[in-house]
Amino acid sequence: MGPNEQGGENGGAGDQGSGPRREQARAAAEKMISQLQVMIDQAGKTAGPVLRDVAAKAAELAAVAAENAGPVAHKAASVTEHVGDRVAIRSKDLAADLRKSAEAARAHNAESAADDSKPDDAPQA
C-alpha cells in the first residue's frame, strides 16, 4: 500500500479535521438554500399583484389608443371615400377616351381598307 491509500502521508491524521469542515460547509449551503427559498416565496407572493398592476396599465394604454384611433379611422374613411370617387370619375373618363380612340382607329382602318380595294385604273369622279 502506498502512502495515499492510508489517508495521506501522515497515516490519515490530516483527515480528522476535514469532517467538521464539511459539516460547516453543508450547514452554510443549507442556510443559503433556505434563504433563497424564502426569497423565492416572497417574490411569488408579490409578483401576482405587480403583474396585475402591469396588466391594468397595459389595458389602460390600449383603451387610450383605441379612443384616439377612432377619429383617425373616421378621417381615413372620409379621405378614402373622396379619393375613391375621384378615381372612379377619372377611370370613366379614361374608358370613354379609349373607346373614342378605338372607334376612330376602326373608322380609319375601314377607310384605308376601302381605299385599298379600289382598282387603280378606275376613273376617278
Distance CA 35, CA 43 (A): 12
Letter for the amino acid at 1? M
Amino acid 34: pLDDT: 92
11 belongs to a structural domain: no
pLDDT, position 17: 55
* pTM of model > 0.75: no
For residue 99, give its domain range: 20-114
What is the average per-residue pLDDT within 86-100?
93
Question: pLDDT value at position 115?
Answer: 73
- State the pLDDT at residue 122: 54
Residue 9 lies in a domain: no
Mean pLDDT of 42-48: 82
Instruction: Give the number of domains in the chain.
Output: 1
Helix (H) or strand (E) holding 18: helix 18-117
Which one is predicted more confidently, 34 or 111?
34
Q: Is residue 6 part of a domain?
A: no
d(CA 42, CA 30): 18
C-alpha cell at 39: 426569497
Contact between 19 and 25 under an 8 Å Cβ cutoff? The reply is: no
